[in-house]
Amino acid sequence: MKQYGLERTGPSRVNTCSAVLPANELRDRALELVSQIEPFVWELSKVLYKIKDEQLYMVGEVTYPSFDTYIEGELSYSPRRGRYLASIYDKFTQANIGGDIVNELGSSKSRLLARVVDSGNAEVWIEKAKNTTYAELENEIRSETQGKVIHGGKMGSINIPYYNGETRIQWLEMCELIGKMTGCESKESVLEALMAEFQGTYGETGTHDQDAISQGQANYEILKKYNWRCGVEDCNNRLTLAVHHIAFRSQRPDLIDTPSNKIPLCLFHHNLIHNERADLIEIDGKFAIKLR
């Protein structure tokens, strides 16, 4: 494991919470539980939540750059289902629901309930889950959440593909911001404003000075290399990208123009690093954010 970016100014959150031995013990327990999940849904979800929350997939004899790669590589389990299981503990704890209920309902129904349950509706949804089949419960929850969580739908009159609710929120915030700055009202106008800014930075007819154009074109190659996504493993965010120097410019001025020292980061992960709340690290050729 190589350390990049900021010099540590304090102890890592992971190192503070857990040493290698306890991390290995939890990961071994997760591997044991995943093969006999139904009687131990609650315990497995609790263990996976702790591993995910404390980034224990980055600690131990074998390290992984993300929770998803840990789930897939060490447990031979679907990353999506592993995330659902981790969320069961989080959601049900917040809703004051005990582990006995989760184990009684089983992993599949509990996974569905984690999408809608809270402290105010827990009793109602638990009764529904106990007295319906999986398919019936899924239909009820789909009906309940329809229109609230949108994936791959229309934005205005333009059909724009996007991958999660956070992307949609960012799009709406961008529409509001550009509307205030330019007076654009339609989604088409917002897209035109974004395209004009993009072309002005990266296009051959850019209006910036030559140094900025040269820098923009160099950054374009970095963005293209990462398929216009955040370079953090499993982030996949395409919005608010900025090209980040892995070894800071102040520390390694000799690497300022070196492509291998550059990576695109979304605003969220970029801010985590520059606010000294996280470090950018590399594990098996993949980049990850390790919280301090």
Q: What is the per-residue pLDDT for 163?
A: 54
Q: What is the per-residue pLDDT for 206?
A: 46
Claim to verify: residue 140 and residue 186 sit in the same structural domain: no
Q: What is the per-residue pLDDT for 42?
A: 92
Claim to verify: residue 85 and residue 195 sit in the same structural domain: no
Of 205, 220, 236, the residue at which a domain comes to its end is: 205
Claim to verify: residue 125 and residue 173 sit in the same structural domain: no
Claim to verify: residue 74 and residue 114 sit in the same structural domain: yes
| Bigger pLDDT: 164 vs 206 | 164
pLDDT band of residue 209 (cuts 50, 70, 90) is very low
Judged by average pLDDT, the poorest of 184-198, 207-221, 267-281 is 207-221
Claim to verify: residue 174 and residue 215 sit in the same structural domain: no
- The reported pTM is 0.63
Claim to verify: residue 266 and residue 161 sit in the same structural domain: no
Q: What is the per-residue pLDDT for 194?
A: 78
Claim to verify: residue 15 and residue 77 sit in the same structural domain: yes
Claim to verify: residue 225 and residue 104 sit in the same structural domain: no
Task: Give the domain extent around 99.
Answer: 2-145
Number of domains in the chain: 3
| Bigger pLDDT: 60 vs 159 | 60
Provide the residue type at 132 as one letter. Answer: T
Q: What is the per-residue pLDDT for 131?
A: 93
Claim to verify: residue 194 and residue 267 sit in the same structural domain: no
Over 50: is that where the pLDDT of 144 sits?
A: yes
Rounded average pLDDT over 226-238: 84
CA distance 259 to 245: 9
On average, the pLDDT of the chain sits at 78
Could you report the per-residue pLDDT of 59-114, keeping only the tens digit for each?
988 999 999 999 999 998 889 889 988 988 999 999 998 889 998 898 889 988 88
Claim to verify: residue 240 and residue 187 sit in the same structural domain: no
Claim to verify: residue 96 and residue 182 sit in the same structural domain: no
